Chain A
Amino acid sequence: MSLLLPSAKAGGRPVSSNRTASNAILYQYRVLVALFFREAQVRRGAAFALGYMAAGLEPIIIVVAISLLFTALGRQPGYGISLLVFIGTGVFPIYLFIHTSMRLREPFANEGQGRLPIEGTLDHVFVHALLHLLATAVVTTGFFAFLYLVLGQKEALPFDLAEALEALGAIFIFGVAMGMVNSVIARLLPIWNSIWPGVARAAIHFSGMYFIADFLTPDIRRYFAFNPILHGVNWFRTAFYPTYPTNIDNHVYIVLSSGVAITIALLLERIFREKLTNGE
């Protein structure tokens, strides 16, 4: 019985078993592209729009809720004239960190879900982080564009876009690093899955979402300055407010924290690679 099996050169695409750098790059590219399109199609049973994008609604709900509460209490924005912009410039960077640090668990916590031998944990980390970044970028842009175009709030347009992107980039990388560290810890200590979301969300209140760190008393301020996210939020806000107080700002600190966290994450991944790979 001949079944005309697909040939090894199916579709005429380049296939080779040589262990060359170009082949390694080709295989890596294929895996990343395939994973990107597969993971974009589904997230926890929902399509991309309903899965990743719906997750982006959380910061919007928080911004609106806090703004309503502050309006009801008669509170003024901590800086500038728009309460929505002030709260938004705090909430979005913080949630970028929180969600990134929480959402990278999937590549590691793959119990019950296997994978092809060629898929690596770091491939999944890269793809999940990229998808999350894209979804967040769409929601964040949509939010500030809505404030600027529909509500006519001029402050919603950053006067220094590059600065805003740099700040978000630094926070994102810190989130990815912490996400990887958390994921490895969670595989070794499953209760971490319940602890970290609480810790991350508690960080909202220490990251300058509704206050200005520079206006705190010096003895308290120095403790707050240990929080890398606070530096990220301040950095992001300087892109919207040219005269935003930045005395405690240290961009090097958040970049350095990201570097240290990424190094720890990669070391943990290397040390526990066997357990992470075998534990499907």
Chain B
Amino acid sequence: MILIKGMMKDYKLGTARRVVFKNVDVNIPTDRRVAVFGAAESGKTVLIRLLCGLEIPTEGEIVRYARVSFPVGYTRALKFNLSARQNIAFVSKVYGADEAEIAEFIERVTGLGVLLNEPMRKLTMNDRSTFCYAMGYAMPFDTYLFDNAVVYGTPDFRRRCMAMFEERARNSGIILATKHTKFASRCCDCGVVIRGRSAEFFDTISEAVAAFEQDEQARHANLEFAALEDELARDEVTEDER
């Protein structure tokens, strides 16, 4: 379980302050498949980063009663001066995994072969990302975090990612931030919906999807209404000018 208690998160942008979350109190199960729904720019990525500890809340606290992964596909933990194998050794040591088993698995899944011995900076962006997805899936965690994407790369590797995702979803918890209700309905069984600056947990995925779609409809209606108001205001200005 991940307990979020009285969390507030803001960012300073010059002199302005953007509040992403305010007074968030929610418990997220770590042994289930949780979808995190939210509109664009609502803070899904921030929530995922907060859940895994890449960012810390401005106020309040997040308590994790599980071994939570870094977002699968996260590339920024790597040292580009080191080889992929050295990076595997580091991440394996940190998380107490078997280095040889992880390296063998990544080699088998990515097909990078001898490139694993080269410094990461010599790898293409595509190879680096492929490596990071494989490493994210390979590491042993209680709960895996995903920020919008569960697959990456070539069609063949995407199929492998999907197989890894399904296997991890069967045996571990997952928390998936997404806007795609169809995919989430297929692979998740409960959900968190980011509404306003808070987050609400729904025990079934259908309830979460319904709440999210309702929010989206309201948001679109508001956007249409705002556009209509703008149009009317423009028409009035034109009339006055005449």
Which residues of A are in contact with B by a Cβ distance under 8 Å? Answer: 1-11, 13-15, 17-19, 26, 30-31, 33-35, 37-38, 41-42, 45, 113-119, 273-274, 277-278, 280
CB of B227 within 8 A of chain A? Answer: no
CB of B137 within 8 A of chain A? Answer: yes
- Nearest-neighbor residue (CB-CB) of A11 within chain B: B98
CB of B109 within 8 A of chain A? Answer: yes
| B96 pairs with A6, CB closer than 8 A | no
**Which one of B30, B79, B89 contacts A42 once the chains associate, using CB atoms below 8 Å?**
B79
Q: What's the minimum C-beta distance from B217 to chain A, rounded to whole angstroms?
A: 33
**Which one of B55, B65, B105 contacts A5 once the chains associate, using CB atoms below 8 Å?**
B105
| A5 pairs with B167, CB closer than 8 A | yes
| A10 pairs with B98, CB closer than 8 A | yes
Main secondary structure of the interface of A (DSSP, over half): loop
Complexed CA–CA distance, A33 and B91 (Å): 11
Complexed CA–CA distance, A116 and B58 (Å): 20
CB of B149 within 8 A of chain A? Answer: no
| B94 pairs with A15, CB closer than 8 A | no
Complexed CA–CA distance, A6 and B66 (Å): 18
- Nearest-neighbor residue (CB-CB) of B162 within chain A: A1
| B98 pairs with A13, CB closer than 8 A | yes
**Which one of A11, A17, A30, A116 contacts B101 once the chains associate, using CB atoms below 8 Å?**
A11
Q: What's the minimum C-beta distance from B169 to chain A, rounded to whole angstroms?
A: 11
| B138 pairs with A6, CB closer than 8 A | yes
15 A-B Cβ contacts within 8 A?
A1-B159, A5-B105, A5-B138, A6-B105, A10-B97, A11-B101, A13-B96, A13-B97, A15-B96, A17-B67, A30-B93, A34-B90, A116-B94, A117-B70, A278-B56
| A19 pairs with B52, CB closer than 8 A | no
- Nearest-neighbor residue (CB-CB) of A277 within chain B: B56
Instruction: Please name all residues of chain B whose beta carbon is closer than 8 Å to the beta carbon of A18 when the two chains form the complex.
Output: 65
**Which one of A9, A33, A114, A278 contacts B140 once the chains associate, using CB atoms below 8 Å?**
A9
Complexed CA–CA distance, A33 and B96 (Å): 11
The range of chain B's interface size is 35 or more
| CB-contacts of B143-183 with A (<8 A) | 159-160, 163-164, 167-168, 171-172
| B66 pairs with A17, CB closer than 8 A | yes
Looking at A5, A7, A274, which has the most chain B CB atoms within 10 Å of its CB? Answer: A5
Instruction: Please name all residues of chain A whose beta carbon is closer than 8 Å to the beta carbon of B102 when the two chains form the complex.
Output: 6, 10
**Which one of A3, A26, A37 contacts B109 once the chains associate, using CB atoms below 8 Å?**
A3
CB of B54 within 8 A of chain A? Answer: yes
CB of B212 within 8 A of chain A? Answer: no
Q: What's the minimum C-beta distance from B70 to chain A, rounded to whole angstroms?
A: 5
| B56 pairs with A8, CB closer than 8 A | no
| A8 pairs with B82, CB closer than 8 A | no
Instruction: Please name all residues of chain B whose beta carbon is closer than 8 Å to the beta carbon of A118 when the two chains form the complex.
Output: 53, 94-95
**Which one of B52, B77, B105, B159 contacts A4 once the chains associate, using CB atoms below 8 Å?**
B105
CB of B141 within 8 A of chain A? Answer: yes
Given A38-B79, A38-B86, A118-B94, also A277-B55 (CB < 8 A): yes
| B160 pairs with A8, CB closer than 8 A | no
Complexed CA–CA distance, A190 and B144 (Å): 36
Given A9-B140, A13-B96, A42-B81, also A117-B54 (CB < 8 A): yes
Given A5-B164, A278-B56, also A116-B141 (CB < 8 A): no
Instruction: Please name 4 further chain A to chain B contacts, defined as beta carbons within 8 Å, in addition to the given A30-B95, A278-B56, sorted by A numbering.
Output: A3-B167, A6-B139, A14-B96, A114-B76
Instruction: Please name all residues of chain A whose beta carbon is closer than 8 Å to the beta carbon of B163 when the two chains form the complex.
Output: 1-3
| CB-contacts of B206-234 with A (<8 A) | none
The 10 closest A-B pairs by CB, nearest first: A114-B76, A11-B98, A117-B53, A34-B93, A1-B163, A8-B140, A10-B98, A38-B90, A17-B66, A116-B77
CB of B107 within 8 A of chain A? Answer: no
Complexed CA–CA distance, A42 and B93 (Å): 17
Complexed CA–CA distance, A45 and B119 (Å): 10
Instruction: Please name all residues of chain B whose beta carbon is closer than 8 Å to the beta carbon of A9 when the two chains form the complex.
Output: 140
- Nearest-neighbor residue (CB-CB) of B93 within chain A: A34
Instruction: Please name all residues of chain A whose beta carbon is closer than 8 Å to the beta carbon of B118 when the two chains form the complex.
Output: none
Q: What's the minimum C-beta distance from A68 to chain B, rounded to whole angstroms?
A: 36
Complexed CA–CA distance, A5 and B141 (Å): 12
Instruction: Please name all residues of chain B whose beta carbon is closer than 8 Å to the beta carbon of A119 when the two chains form the complex.
Output: 94
| A274 pairs with B58, CB closer than 8 A | yes
CB of B189 within 8 A of chain A? Answer: no
| B140 pairs with A15, CB closer than 8 A | yes
Q: What's the minimum C-beta distance from A60 to chain B, rounded to whole angstroms?
A: 26
Q: What's the minimum C-beta distance from A6 to chain B, rounded to whole angstroms?
A: 5
